[in-house]
Amino acid sequence: MGIEVEKTFLALPPEEREAIIGYGTALRVSALRKRLFMAESKVRYFEEKYKTTLAGLDAEGLADDASYEAHEDYIMWHHWAAVANKAQEELESLHEIAQQGLPLEKLAYAGN
């Protein structure tokens, strides 16, 4: 399927291909920003709850008498930190395309 989609895409006029890439990039950046915001919010929640950073907790380790909840939070904290890192990396990988942006009149329709 991928090769056929690529052939069809490449058969489009250049301005149509550019528009599709622009809209797709705008939608993807928007979704990644939402994901990054949510993941960073979860990480901040755990930092406030445990009054430390994940790096600090990793260095110290969980207390021997840590509760089941603390263990579960620790696992979820790592998960959300990984999600935040991945979203940030993906945003950075789209930076050059996103910098070119969409004309303002077209941006209003992105995501609708």
Q: Report how far residue 65's alpha carbon sits from residue 12's, in angstroms, rounded to the nearest whole number.
A: 63
Which pLDDT does position 74 carry in this prediction?
A: 98
Better-predicted residue by pLDDT, 67 or 100: 67
**pLDDT tens sequence across 3-43:** 899 999 999 998 999 889 888 998 999 999 999 999 999 99
Can you tell me whether residue 51 is helix, strand or coil? coil
pTM of the entire structure? 0.79
Query: Which among 37, 32, 10 has a CA at the least distance from the CA of 94?
Result: 32
Q: Report how far residue 91's alpha carbon sits from residue 80's, in angstroms, rounded to the nearest whole number.
A: 16
Which pLDDT does position 100 carry in this prediction?
A: 75
